[in-house]
Structure 1
Amino acid sequence: MTLARVVTSLRESRNICLFLPNFANILGPGSRTNSRSMGKSSKAKGSKGKDTQADAGKAASDSPISTDKSGNVLLKIVAKPGAKESKVTDISSEGIGVQIGAPPMDGEANAELVKFLASTLGVRKSDVSLERGSKSRQKTVCVTGLQAEDIESKLRDLCS
């Protein structure tokens, strides 16, 4: 097959985006890959059994509240900015769901999250800091001055 035919067939099948970055793969035998079919769903289909077994083993020990080497408590937060009011919605293995009553612009939601957690947990604002995820919905917050069990009980009281 000539190069012109390959380009024409790729244009017709709308896979020209595959042509340039994967030139060697497309021209090689048996490399008919469609980028649209390689999304999350097709990857999950192939390894569904393995993931569920791995998740079942992690579920018992995987908690959104942990302690680091210094004794500080780390919280995995799943932030939902732009809510009417700040509140804790749920606690799951993925993280602590927190609705934030501030828009996700210019760090307003992060500042509101730190302020809300400090007032909720009864510590100073300087005892709560955002460790990771300043531009993500998945955040890690560090809390000093409290034990993990105390924080978990206060957050669970807010959820119910």
Structure 2
Amino acid sequence: MASALPAIRHVAATSSKSALGGYIYVQCHVKPGASKQREGVVSVSDDVIEICVSAQARDGEANKAVREVFSSILKCPKSDVEVIRGMKSRDKTVAICGIDMQGDEQKCISGIRAQLESASQ
């Protein structure tokens, strides 16, 4: 499960049609089928964000639930959150667009990490 990439990182937009500030990529380990009370961020480490969702891992239900968890915590539209890697795996990469970097990438990433940590159970 350990990866060489940080759990939260900024990726610059590759075209003019992409998100203006680029994307925030979040490495996640998802535990589907959890009780509704446990749904949300379980832990935040340097290389992965652990998330529990009550949805089952079938027909994209868990992926949709992951999008809803991030949308709720980061207060952004669900349309700005997308699972881009690991569609049928517990290890996923989630891309979030529409986050204003305000010129300071590290400060923005630290802010997102703080939001995820404060939401963890």
Q: TM-score range by the shorter chain?
A: 0.7 to 0.9
Whether 2:34 is the aligned partner of 1:83: answer yes
Alignment RMSD (CA, Å): 1.7
Q: Which runs of 4+ in 1 moved over 4 A?
A: none
In structure 2, how many angstroms separate the alpha carbons of the residues matched to 1:91 and 1:63? 11
SS of residue matched to 2:57? coil
- Higher RCO, 1 vs 2 (CA within 8 Å, ≥6 residues apart): 2
In structure 1, how many angstroms separate the alpha carbons of the residues matched to 2:76 and 2:66? 13
Give the greater-gyration-radius structure (CA).
Answer: 1
| Structure 1 residue 120: Cα displacement | 1.3
> Equivalent residue for 1:67?
10
Show structure 2 runs of 5+ residues with no match: 14-21, 100-107
**Higher helix proportion (structure 1 or 2):** 1
Whether 2:82 is the aligned partner of 1:129: answer yes
Superposition TM-score, scaled by structure 1 size: 0.59
Show structure 1 runs of 5+ residues with no match: 1-54
| Structure 1 residue 69: Cα displacement | 1.9
**Higher strand proportion (structure 1 or 2):** 2
How many residues are paired up?
Answer: 101
In structure 2, how many angstroms separate the alpha carbons of the residues matched to 1:77 and 1:102? 16
